[in-house]
Amino acid sequence: MKHTPLHAEHIALGARMAEFGGWDMPIQYEGILAEHQHTRTQTGLFDICHMGEFELSGPTAAADLENLLTMKISTLAVGQCRYGFMLNDAGGVIDDLTCYRLDDERYMLVVNAATLDGDAEWIRAHLSPDTVFTDRSSELAKLDVQGPQAHADLETVMGELPNLGYFKAESFQALETEMLVSRTGYTGELGYELYFPASEAVRVWRALLANENIKPIGLGARDTLRLEMGYSLYGHELSAERTPVATSRGMFIKKEGEFIGRDAVMRDLEDPAEFLVALEFNDKRAARAHDKVFSHPPSPEGSGATSGLEIGVITSGSLSPSLGKAVALALIQADLAVPGTVLDVEIRGNPFPATVVDLPFYKEGTARG
């Protein structure tokens, strides 16, 4: 497995490690519940160095990105970033990613770790001769600092931060190194992503943790935090076998202009067969990915089956630490994807009722504050 520059730091902190996207990553330190609550109330620090960063530059870079991605690139201002999808010819999702405009003719893509090599190959195959592609993944470190106290806690360590709006980015000097800071994240809380030379990763990590209000957070809590917000995870809600229409309902997809996979996306937009929905349970029995979803009503209690029709599948599920009940995301038949609809989820052979609700599950997030 691959290691981030902070691998030895995680071991020294007693982290429980496991494989994620080909990397040996920290799943938890103190525990998922404690780390989740700390991020929701104070400030959490995430090692995200496993994710990839590609730089595209040159006079044709913007046009190439318009062709490769579902979101509008030509309207990005310098210092702005935007989320969207990169699709294959059939409209399936190769990756979901964020595009930063760093300068007039210079852009950065932040991509998922598990798809990095395939992303690079696909992008290189669809570039104009005058577009320069550079994979900067190994030379850049990426740390996410998330939580309602993130701004104040970061400034105690780094000094004054740039005054950033949501999904904006700016370069600045801190801890004796040049950094790019963006006001983005994956938790629903106020947060920042820091990009800087990988050679400085240990020093910056230790400096941030010297503030006792900032605690290291593993991928376990990162997953429960993103699930409470209803954010998609590649390999669960998103895949190369389906267009992003079911998960995004048309968001992050430009309606005008060409891009790879557009024909399939437009067909799904006109006549969607399924939608991603949020399901809330009345108890703490959590559904898991691949559990089947059925229409209501259930069979008699204890019969171990459901009399409803199979209409979908769970993509992500967990106990919500913030709500104290089980929640899940599911891809289901489009006509039943209506808030208030009661469905049945087969968990370990038994049906459990769940109600379709509006996202996010957790509504007190500070991300846009």
Residue pLDDT, tens place only, 204-231: 999 999 999 999 999 999 999 999 999 9
Q: pLDDT by residue (tens digit) across 242-262?
A: 999 999 999 999 999 999 999
pLDDT band for position 317 (cuts 50, 70, 90):
very high
Residues 6+ apart with CB under 8 A from 349: 304
Report the pLDDT value the prediction gives residue 219, as an integer from 0 to 100. 98
What integer pLDDT is reported at residue 306 of this predicted model?
A: 56
Q: Where does the pLDDT of residue 303 fall: very low under 50, low under 70, confident under 90, or very high at 90 and above? A: very low
Cα–chain center distance at 309: 31
Contact 242, 248 (CB under 8 A): no
Residue 51 reports pLDDT greater than 50:
yes
- For residue 345, pLDDT over 90 is answered with yes
Q: What percent of the chain has pLDDT over 90?
A: 96
Model pLDDT, residue 229: 98
> How much is the pLDDT for 302?
47
pLDDT value, residue 4: 98
Report the pLDDT value the prediction gives residue 113, as an integer from 0 to 100: 96
pLDDT for 94-137, tens place per residue? 999 999 999 999 999 999 999 999 999 999 999 999 999 999 99
Mean pLDDT, to the nearest integer, of 9-35?
Answer: 97
* Structural domains of the chain, ranges and CATH numbers in brackets: 7-50+138-229 (3.30.1360.120), 52-135 (3.30.70.1400), 273-357 (2.40.30.110)
pLDDT reading at 297 higher than 90: no
Q: Reply yes or no on whether the pLDDT at 298 is more than 90.
A: no
DSSP letter string over 226-279? Answer: HHHHT---BTTTB-TTS-THHHHTTTT--SSS--TTHHHHHHHHHS-SEEEEEE
Average pLDDT of 289-306? 71
With 0-12 / 13-18 / 19 or more C-beta atoms within 10 angstroms meaning exposed / middle / buried, residue 222 is buried
pLDDT at 156 over 80: yes
Give the pLDDT of residue 369: 76
Cα angle 133-144-45, degrees, rounded to a multiple of 5: 150
Backbone angles phi and psi of 246, in degrees to 5: -60, -35
Residue 353: pLDDT above 80?
A: yes
C-alpha–C-alpha distance, residues 131 and 124, integer Å = 9
- 174-198 average pLDDT score: 97
Residue-level pLDDT at 296: 80
pLDDT confidence of residue 307: 62
Relative to beta strand 325-333, strand 350-357 is unpaired
Average pLDDT over residues 3-29: 97
**pLDDT at residue 354, rounded to an integer:** 97
**Across the chain, what does the average pLDDT equal?**
96
**Gyration radius from the chain CA atoms:** 21
pLDDT over 80 (residue 301): no
User: Does the structure show a pLDDT above 80 at 55?
Assistant: yes
Q: What is the mean pLDDT of residues 193-200?
A: 98
CA distance 369 to 365: 8
